[in-house]
Chain A
Amino acid sequence: MNYQAIKRQLPALLIGIVVGVGMFLLGQNSIPLDKPNEAEIGFAQDMSVHHQQAIEMSFLVREKTDDQEIRGFAFDIINTQANQRGMMLGWLDLWQQPLSTTKTPMMWMMDDMSSMDHSQMTKDFTSGAYMPGMATSDEMQTLVEASGTDAEQLFLELMIRHHKGGVMMADGVIKRSENETVTRLAQTMVNGQQAEIDYMNELLTNY
């Protein structure tokens, strides 16, 4: 091969390489793999813990009542929140971030927390740290010991507060994220949990 000829064609070769590699990288760079920010990571970690408690409360109430409406509603929460947990844990896995963290929860929206209504702030019963709307270990124990309509009513009261906290957290990440995948799921949580709060308030009028 002629060295001079290669040298003359070098620009064309370089352009080809640059364009080819550029397109390759563009293809690689799909949204979920974008470098996440602190809020997105914190939200995924904290909200999956938050969802887990809603699932646990729902399993508990299903064992304690024969009321078909409450049982059906709890069944819906279990499936939806378990799957959403999986979606958020999947992001963390793709981002190569810890699925469980020992960090203090809610640090990612701390600047909002100071102005937050403190009646919403309860101890996270697993870590002993604060997260909005979570039931305390005492409240969970009361639910474990309750039965029948008492259990139904307590479940509704705890879940309303839990959902209010969830809406707050989802709103928090929407303000802090540009990632469509994250904000779309968070927005469905805001709308969905608000609709469920209204529904539960209506159910509560039966007691």
Chain B
Amino acid sequence: MNQLMDVELVQLAQEGKSEAFDALVKRYQNKVTQLVYRYVHDNDTALDLVQDIFFKIFRNLGRFKGECAFSTWMYRIAVNDCIDHTRRLKVRQETSLDQLAEVGFDAQDTRKEADVWASVQERIDSAMVRQALESLPNDQRSVLVLKVFEEMTFEQIASILGEPISTIKSRLYKALELLGRQFRQQQFLERFKK
């Protein structure tokens, strides 16, 4: 089964061959998990979303006619699910206490104080970048995740998101411009602090 191409596995899965579907899941579950994790930055949420995405794939596989590659179709479902999730949680995420919890540390553990502070600083920096990424509009964020993190080509992204390449590039430009501005502001503030 594992040697078969996607098209063949999809066909077999559509015919009800459970091994074919399992092979597809095995082939793509890490990639989808990676994409989703980089989108939501949280283990539990990512796992829930991956379950949901594969369930949607399972449910809709019968309707997949092969107009595009299976991976493109699957990534489209994944990205749309991530976007839906961020939309649902947007209000909560803005004021989430999780962001504060994220930079916390065990106050009882004084064995490696210096390392703890370094780790905290690193987490704060990382949280800032994540916050900046999460502040991007969903369409720009999707392009950024697929291009910068998943290193896909513009053609692949255009196919997944169903938009022309020029639109994808324009969205990426806007996203990077926004992040560039935030980066410079942060640099300025750090210089000011010193």
Are A and B co-members of a single complex? no
